[in-house]
């Protein structure tokens, strides 16, 4: 056993800023996605997973965990994230699994459909979908959010999820699982993340409604609601430098989560033994807030 309070870095964190979308490899300290720590036990043997935003952060941690549990994994990511994506592909293949790298922008409907079809064709099927890609940008006031920024956030966080899910369902057999990444911001919105928070609330409701539809196909749909996690979202405009310095320090845990700490939740929701779990939102918040 390990005391969770002392496992990972605590604030204060040094000032750092990257252009959107940011790279995990350039963060200080570098996030832990489970590269050295995650050990699989065949919980997802033979499964076929597609993860949007799978190059870094929570998506990367899920990709590593899925591969080490025996799944083939396709990842969608922005072309600017290629250095991180190459590392993930190497880690998936290092686990002896098929890795498919799909660069592109999920704000484009045609790309979303092409990405899903490519993943399913390359892996010989698709039975796990993780909608994880997101845009988060800090604004102190609604008056500072341009229509362009608002559209960018909604098309990334909601439209992309909708298009990818719609394209994926036709490939997914009974027993498949869809997992969406919501946020604690769905329930306790941050003052500086107005547009991001509203999309995360929408994802929680999308999950619950879709779960009721998809059970007629034998497909389970759940979501994960992370609290503050140390990912490139935070250093590429997702937080002010003032907030970044103390990031995660106001949780009962006293620190932000590392992506490796939430990957087991995605594994648990994906595996077949969670057969009665659908329409749920699982929190991982360091001790505060619903769900």
Q: Is residue 122 part of a domain?
A: yes
Question: What CATH number does the domain containing 116 carry?
Answer: 3.40.50.720
| 196 among known catalytic residues | yes
d(CA 157, CA 134): 5
Q: What is the pLDDT of residue 259?
A: 98
Q: Is residue 3 part of a domain?
A: no
**Model-wide pTM > 0.85:** yes
Q: What is the pLDDT of residue 12?
A: 96
Q: What is the pLDDT of residue 123?
A: 98
Tens digits of residue pLDDT in 21-79 = 999 999 999 999 999 999 999 999 999 999 999 999 999 999 999 999 999 999 999 99
Which tokens belong to 202? Answer: 């929408």
Q: What is the pLDDT of residue 241?
A: 87
| Confidence tier at 288 by pLDDT (50, 70, 90) | confident
Q: Is residue 22 part of a domain?
A: no
Q: Which of 8, 38, 77, 196 is catalytic?
A: 196
Q: What is the pLDDT of residue 289?
A: 73
Q: Is residue 99 part of a domain?
A: yes
d(CA 51, CA 278): 19
Which tokens belong to 44? Answer: 């997802």
Tens digits of residue pLDDT in 224-242 = 999 999 999 999 999 988 9
Q: Is residue 23 part of a domain?
A: no
Mean of the per-residue pLDDT values of the chain: 97
Of 287, 279, 283, whose CA–CA distance to 265 is shortest? 283
Q: Is residue 7 part of a domain?
A: no
Tens digits of residue pLDDT in 240-280 = 889 999 999 999 999 999 999 999 999 999 999 999 999 99
Q: Span 16-22, mean pLDDT? A: 94
Q: Span 139-165, mean pLDDT? A: 98
Does residue 290 surpass a pLDDT of 80?
no
Q: Is residue 197 part of a domain?
A: yes
Domain that holds residue 232: 41-284
Q: Is residue 21 part of a domain?
A: no
Does residue 210 surpass a pLDDT of 80?
yes
Structurally, the chain folds into a number of domains equal to 1
């Amino acid at each position: 056993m390990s005391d969770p309070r002392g496992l990972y870095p605590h604030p204060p964190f040094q000032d750092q800023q990257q252009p959107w979308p940011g790279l995990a490899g350039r963060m200080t300290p570098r996030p832990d996605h489970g590269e050295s720590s995650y050990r699989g036990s065949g919980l997802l043997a033979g499964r076929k997973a597609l993860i949007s935003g799978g190059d870094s952060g929570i998506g990367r941690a899920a990709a590593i965990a899925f591969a080490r549990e025996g799944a083939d994994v396709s990842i969608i990511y922005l072309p600017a994230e290629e250095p991180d994506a190459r590392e993930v592909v190497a880690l998936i293949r290092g686990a002896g699994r098929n890795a498919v790298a799909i660069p592109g922008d999920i704000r484009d409907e045609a790309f979303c459909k092409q990405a899903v079809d490519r993943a399913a064709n390359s892996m010989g099927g698709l039975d796990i979908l993780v909608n994880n890609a997101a845009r988060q940008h800090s604004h102190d006031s609604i008056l500072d959010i341009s229509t362009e920024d608002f559209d960018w956030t909604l098309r990334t966080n909601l439209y992309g999820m909708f298009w990818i899910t719609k394209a994926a369902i036709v490939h997914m057999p009974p027993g498949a699982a869809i997992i969406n990444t919501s946020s604690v911001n769905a329930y306790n919105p941050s003052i500086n993340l107005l547009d991001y928070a509203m999309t995360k609330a929408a994802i929680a409701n999308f999950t619950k409604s879709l779960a009721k539809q998809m059970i007629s196909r034998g497909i389970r749909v759940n979501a994960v609601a992370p609290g503050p996690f140390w990912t490139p979202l935070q250093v590429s405009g997702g937080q002010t430098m003032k907030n970044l310095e103390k990031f995660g320090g106001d949780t009962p845990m006293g620190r932000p989560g590392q992506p490796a700490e939430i990957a087991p939740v995605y594994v648990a929701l994906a595996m077949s033994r969670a057969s009665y779990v659908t329409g749920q939102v699982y929190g991982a918040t360091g001790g505060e807030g619903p769900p």
